[in-house]
Structure 1
């Protein structure tokens, strides 16, 4: 039985090393391996069972493997004596790998061309005077700029536009992939660049929607950040949200800052209506932590979709024949030289 265990160990290790080397050679581009004829794998236990039956029914005779003293001295004692069963293990490993090869393993990988479907995003930022409030440290506008900057930095494959609004609305940057320039523009935003005495949410949404009008992207998003309620003349925010829904544009709203109970300067319900009308979501951020969490959740919701290239399959049968051949050659070489047996 000791012969069986040693041979089994050598065989399994030889097969595992062979298959491992093939897997390493294939590289990281392989997504997974499938078998064209998986029923062949049912034969794997047969050589193992045959060896066990042989060891049980016909134990190996206690013959001396080496009839000459110098041969025995050359092999030496200790661990080296266990190598006498290595050729049997190599042969077993070759049989196991050959069975795996007959199961027709196939690697699947993608073609070199992988296309990504980017998202076009228009950010509408409130620049009304209340954005100087310091309940979000150091103030609401600075906190908003920091999370917007981080958001833009993480949207590598998306075009982003920036719109600001107070009493009226203005485009700071049209849709662009030049995120470096856009982040510089975000850093330079200050209160006072537009009239901030009122909050024209409708105008901000309208200009942001116009920035997406000619977008060919399958996914179009508006992210609205404000700390107040629409209180300016002009475009009604709900009508803009309806137009956005008709065009397939999704609106996400973020209401920033701590609001006093019953305060007339806010209307959370309106922001919820704007978002829900388009299938978006309304966030409430009363501190910097909640603001960051809101944008992190938004990032998760906007994970880019991926259009994969053509899947390519490659037959691995030929690859596995090489280790089979190598194991058999080592088996023959050891049997006829250093580990030769003399019956």
Structure 2
């Protein structure tokens, strides 16, 4: 397995095409400037020691050395050994509401972004647990299958928005059923779902879905986002707010947190209900409950003993730079005396 300890240095490779373009442009400019003096053959006779090919050779060596230096600075490392590691953890599936009501701003900056920040912090505190993400509105979709790749989890989390699910609504029950389908019940690990929603469920029977999950020893926790007073639902166009959603009578729709629904789902799923605020997301309380679950050992393959390989690349770059330094732009005197293809005229006596 190959990885880079300092991958940010690889951005410098983007400069190589720019350097090539500049070099070609300068070379053409020089040719045009020499052509302005007169006939090309006459100009060559006036500068017999100037080499046309050596500047290209020197530049090629420089570009290769530059690339090797950057790759070496990024510190490529090769995993020399792969081993199966026994880890103890639980399977955690995050069910995140992405309906339009999650754009309401009674939490800062809005309900959805507040929830995403809380999930990101939760991921940072995970160690051996596995995590997955399901997004839902009127329908539910798996955003991230169960994984121990926390970097991937945060990457997928950052892409979540309210435009991901075309059908509006809040189908919590469908999201729970999809979470059940995503679990591997053969591994015997403790399993839990964390539903993050404003609780305005109008699509299905979420309580029945939570009961079915509890029957299979899956705990359902609920985090309520929003406030009892509620807030209007902004209309976002081209990344900017363009008013608020209104009902058929033209009145601004106010989305309120339905705590009763959240509490019913959590009770049916034998889990905890907490309400998120600007001061606390409530996920730490739920994680305390999840940490009390029995954790099962599972196998996870990983590389260890990563070995640095930057020394080879830096050595090659140094050698090329030394060679480039000692190559002159002038023609070789020895080679210029060798006229291999010159036809000598015979001297008649």
TM value normalised by structure 1? 0.51
Question: How many angstroms apart in 1 are the aligned matches of 2:256 and 2:138?
Answer: 15
Match of 1:123 among 85, 94, 99: 94
Aligned residue pair count: 190
The residue that corresponds to 1:296 in the other structure is 284
1:245 aligns with 2:214: yes
The structure that has the greater radius of gyration is 1
Match of 1:255 among 224, 245, 248: 224
Question: How many angstroms apart in 2 are the aligned matches of 1:251 and 1:188?
Answer: 25
The residue that corresponds to 1:272 in the other structure is 263
- Match of 1:122, SS? strand
Question: How many angstroms apart in 1 are the aligned matches of 2:178 and 2:143?
Answer: 11
Question: How many angstroms apart in 1 are the aligned matches of 2:212 and 2:286?
Answer: 22
The Cα of 1:284 is off from its aligned counterpart by: 1.4
CA contact (8 A) 1:256 1:284 kept: yes
User: CA RMSD, aligned part only?
Assistant: 2.5
The residue that corresponds to 1:149 in the other structure is 120
The Cα of 1:266 is off from its aligned counterpart by: 4.6
- Match of 1:198, SS? coil
The residue that corresponds to 1:236 in the other structure is 205
The structure with the greater share of residues assigned to helix is 1
1:216 aligns with 2:162: no
Q: Which runs of 5+ in 2 are unaligned?
A: 1-83, 231-253, 298-349
1:283 aligns with 2:252: no
CA 1:307–1:280: 2 relative to 1, 3 Å: closer
Deviations 1:143-170 (A, max 9, x none): 1111101112211101111000001000
The structure with the greater share of residues assigned to strand is 2
- Match of 2:165, SS? coil
Deviations 1:75-116 (A, max 9, x none): xxxxxxxxxxxxxxxxxxxxxxxxxxxxxxxxxxxxxx9954
Question: How many angstroms apart in 2 are the aligned matches of 1:288 and 1:271?
Answer: 19
The residue that corresponds to 2:76 in the other structure is none
The residue that corresponds to 2:7 in the other structure is none
Of stretches 171-180 and 195-204 in structure 1, the one that deviates more from structure 2 is 195-204
Match of 2:133 among 162, 168, 174: 162
Question: How many angstroms apart in 1 are the aligned matches of 2:262 and 2:209?
Answer: 12
- Match of 1:289, SS? coil
Deviations 1:295-331 (A, max 9, x none): 11122222275789xxxxxxxxxxxxxxxxxxxxxxx
Runs of 4+ in 1 over 4 A off after TM superposition: 113-116, 263-266, 304-308
